Amino acid sequence: GQQVMQIPQYQHVQEGEDFTTYCNSSTTLSNIQWYKQRPGGHPVFLIQLVKSGEVKKQKRLTFQFGEAKKNSSLHITATQTTDVGTYFCAGPSTGNQFYFGTGTSLTVIP
């Protein structure tokens, strides 16, 4: 099945520092989605990237899709305590179901 790996698994940052999580696929992806899951909550859809080299921004969050469409990244500038949670990338299988990466758990220290 689809393999989507994420690094790092855990990240602790001081409030105000930047944070980046990386997603890598063993195969070319037609698109990639990002989700955020707050502690005790459920995954919430953030964004989808479709085009090679695409970059999208949502306030302090910047999402990138690699040129080869095999990797993606999420960068948060100047983290805040509200950014705490686990960030997942998800890539579609041949049947269009999305397989989720292992997730990166972000802790923001005030």
Which one, 13 or 92, has the nearer CB to another protein? 92
Binding of another protein by 42 (CB under 8 A): yes
Instruction: State how far the Cα of 9 lies from the Cα of 106, in Å rounded to an integer.
Output: 9
Contact with another protein (CB under 8 A): which of 71, 103, 106, 108? 103
Minimum CB separation from another protein for residue 99, in Å?
Answer: 6
CA–CA separation, 27 vs 50, rounded Å? 15
Q: Are 83 and 74 in contact (CB under 8 A)?
A: no
- Binds another protein by CB under 8 A, chosen from 33, 71, 72, 79: 33
How many whole angstroms separate alpha carbon 72 and alpha carbon 77? 17
Residue 56 binds another protein (CB under 8 A)? no
Give the separation between CA 70 and CA 28, rounded to whole angstroms. 5
Q: Which of 35, 63, 65, 87 lies at the binding interface for another protein (CB under 8 A)? A: 35
Q: Find out whether 31 and 92 touch, Cβ atoms under 8 Å.
A: yes
Q: How far is the CB of 20 from another protein (least distance, A)?
A: 19
Residues in touch with another protein (CB under 8 A): 1, 31, 33, 35, 41-45, 48, 88, 92-93, 95-103
